[in-house]
A and B are shown apart, each in its own frame.
Chain A
């Protein structure tokens, strides 16, 4: 397995692609999001599994996104996601609201290769009312009454992208206990992973590492991006950088402030070298 450059990885993602991203507590690749902005990606459709955060907000602000499907977009303690909020208000993006387990379930259906899966709850929610692609049927196994239940279609993203701690010589990647990322990889057509480092060996030969690994079967490309989750925490490797997120939240309140932030943190060669 030969790692590719971050910019080469961003070039693999065509405009209009459906990208599945994990949330800010589960290995998002902020480095790849920044590289997609530098590449000038357009009309991306983002699937926040099951919610979205920092990476989604900067992609929206940079004009890379046409549609967001997720259950919430937020910067956590730093508050509302400013570019997302502004884009919804201005009608610049299509928002398809979901609820967390529905997103997991649609991916689990894809993982199994079945056309749909049922999910409890949701009945009576306006989320369901605004999802013509979700259907309600009577539970065919119910012994008494109708027992209405929601069916969700399988969802197959074009790409899963996340940031793992390490890859090995075989192209397996290791993500510790964040194994929900494996579901995203299993369900997606292709998987792009940035890592802190590449190590010799084969995680699947190590009984302790194998349960937290995604087999190279699913991994299409690996790029090294040190501190590639920053400002988000990465397992026990490094903590979050709340001051960086707060500053972003403040600057990104206006389009001008966001443009300044983008220039400084994404486009200047210094910022690129720091990644």
Chain B
């Protein structure tokens, strides 16, 4: 089998986080339009034989919702979505997310598209996996300029869960809501604790020897390039062409 692509490593890393027995169960996962790698991870978990319901928000044929995103948020409000993926233009060491923009409100430095549903979803799903491929000091900052969605909440504020982890192009961080800090969980090949420190604007914990993010197994790679890609072709055509070298039939 040909060399593993970085996107494939990330999908496998996310799949392992989804299956983490210490995390709350993932029975129903929703995935947004801008998240092909998390979608690949979810399909991989399905194809490995785990019964998760996966709702792709942007799926054109067979879209799971008959009342659009309103239905997604109502489901989430009730606690019927178990896991969601979020990213951010900026993410800080307390797992605060900024999807609005840098500088003064409403993003007078660099304006990002906007918060989407993050201010609700982050607090209302039992767990969130944060995902951002670009691992640089401009993304991972000591303190976000604007908080779209807070990483932790004071006691008494209704909140079902927190970030479980932050997966980047260089490493995996675990989030600890009790102390509102990330710790380094694993390093992608070629990275060191020092290289991560240099690329990260926020402080994080390092406990013991940090393992390498595992390679995908032959079985996982075969599933990603075959049945997972089949499922993703319609919704994420550009991603499938780039990563799996497969084009949807016209």
Q: Please tell me if the beta carbons of B123 and A121 are within 8 angstroms of each other in the complex.
A: yes
Is A263 on the interface with B (CB-CB < 8 A)? no
Q: Whole-angstrom distance between the alpha carbons of A180 and B72 in the complex?
A: 11
Q: Please tell me if the beta carbons of A101 and B150 are within 8 angstroms of each other in the complex.
A: no
Q: Please tell me if the beta carbons of B120 and A180 are within 8 angstroms of each other in the complex.
A: no
**A149 touching B114 in the complex, CB below 8 Å, given contacts A50-B69, A100-B69, A126-B147:** no
Binary interface encoding of chain B residues 51-70 relative to chain A, with 1 for a CB under 8 A from any of its CBs, else 0: 00000011011010111111
Q: Please tell me if the beta carbons of A76 and B33 are within 8 angstroms of each other in the complex.
A: yes
| B65 contact set on A, CB distance < 8 A | 177
Q: Whole-angstrom distance between the alpha carbons of A97 and B112 in the complex?
A: 11
**A120 touching B120 in the complex, CB below 8 Å, given contacts A88-B107, A95-B106, A239-B60:** yes
Chain B interface main SS type:
loop
The number of residues on chain A lying at the interface, defined by a beta carbon within 8 Å of a beta carbon of chain B, is 54
**A179 touching B66 in the complex, CB below 8 Å, given contacts A71-B117, A121-B121, A148-B156:** yes
Q: Please tell me if the beta carbons of B111 and A51 are within 8 angstroms of each other in the complex.
A: no
| B146 contact set on A, CB distance < 8 A | 126
Which of A25, A98, A101, A128 is most buried by chain B, counting CB atoms within 10 A of its CB?
A101
Which of B58, B106, B114, B149 is most buried by chain A, counting CB atoms within 10 A of its CB?
B114
Q: Please tell me if the beta carbons of A80 and B118 are within 8 angstroms of each other in the complex.
A: no
On B, residues with C-beta under 8 Å from A are: 33-34, 57-58, 60-61, 63, 65-71, 73-74, 76-77, 99-101, 105-108, 111-124, 146-150, 153-154, 156-158, 238
On A, residues with C-beta under 8 Å from B are: 22-23, 25-26, 50-51, 70-74, 76-77, 80-81, 84-85, 88-89, 95, 97-102, 104, 108, 119-128, 130, 145-149, 177-181, 183, 233, 236, 239, 242
